Structure 1
């Protein structure tokens, strides 16, 4: 938990308060005038919101084995190169790389994690180009261009994989 102090004009205060509550779990905002009386000071205690992405265990709970997915990915390259099932290919390839990265000694910044992140970004680019709106692929709350998705491409991937697998 931490405390945030912001000095702003009175008309800005509601918008700033709303943005803080969307970004953090916040306590009650305390507002006091500044010494000059022209601005206000906002004080709020805050903490990081709990993770909103599906956990790997949830996203991949019913996924085929890694060996099976390696085989599917190898077979799917041809279709992807011919413009068939491009999204499914990148979704499953990125999920495969994510699952491999999770077994690595460094699942966050190791070589496998870097490959998984890049594959997730490729999926996001495909989804963005397809113009997926707020509903995502299958009612996902985070779009590929949402700031949280951009910060955590593998979180976006897990959201989309869980939704895809549930609807496939």
Structure 2
């Protein structure tokens, strides 16, 4: 959920609110006069609409069904990261994907056992790193049903990691 603030010409206010209502789920629209004559301030609480195709993110259980044990993956990933830091080595997308998936799994575990930590925030940050990599990359991502530019990806970065991990794991 987010807030939108618009300053517009008074005659355009209805057209703008209708367009926003068609694009987002909107709450009550608050209208106030602007400091400039002939203009209005619009304040709208909005949220992304569900995907019209009905597509959903894979559940963690589905995405990580064949994933290695968290401890095993942690060790394997740490080793791969050390290797990637050597001079001349390159870091491939799979490393970022595995890191984001591991952090997502840790955050889910913390949630399941009621541990208060910042693991969800850390997992979300890692997911955003992967999305940024995919946005600037060569299209080497699954993108089904949500590609990195999709608004649903921005709204649920950890869902994107699960989608991409499931795709990656299925093609290993």
Q: Same fold (TM over 0.5)?
A: yes
Q: Distance in 2 between matches of 1:167 and 1:131?
A: 18
Instruction: State the 1:55 CA deviation.
Output: 0.4
Q: 1:98 maps to which residue?
A: 104
Q: 1:84 maps to which residue?
A: 90
The answer (yes or no) to whether the contact 1:79–1:86 under 8 Å persists in 2 is no
Shift in alpha-carbon separation, 1:126–1:60, aligned structure 2, 3 A: same
The answer (yes or no) to whether the contact 2:55–2:145 under 8 Å persists in 1 is no
Instruction: State the 1:51 CA deviation.
Output: 7.0
Matched, 1:123 2:130: yes
Structure 1 gaps of 5+ residues are: 1-6, 24-46
Q: Higher relative contact order at CA 8 Å, sep ≥6: structure 1 or structure 2?
A: 2
Instruction: State the 1:137 CA deviation.
Output: 1.3
Shift in alpha-carbon separation, 1:48–1:150, aligned structure 2, 3 A: closer
Instruction: State the 1:101 CA deviation.
Output: 0.4
TM-score (ref. length: structure 2): 0.63
Instruction: State the 1:141 CA deviation.
Output: 2.3
Q: 1:33 maps to which residue?
A: none
Shift in alpha-carbon separation, 1:54–1:115, aligned structure 2, 3 A: same
Q: 2:162 maps to which residue?
A: 158
Q: Distance in 1 between matches of 2:136 and 2:76?
A: 25
The answer (yes or no) to whether the contact 2:73–2:102 under 8 Å persists in 1 is yes
Q: Over aligned residue pairs, what C-alpha RMSD do you find?
A: 3.2
Instruction: State the 1:160 CA deviation.
Output: 0.2
Instruction: State the 1:154 CA deviation.
Output: 0.1
How many residue pairs align between the two structures? 131
The answer (yes or no) to whether the contact 1:142–1:156 under 8 Å persists in 2 is yes
Instruction: State the 1:142 CA deviation.
Output: 1.3
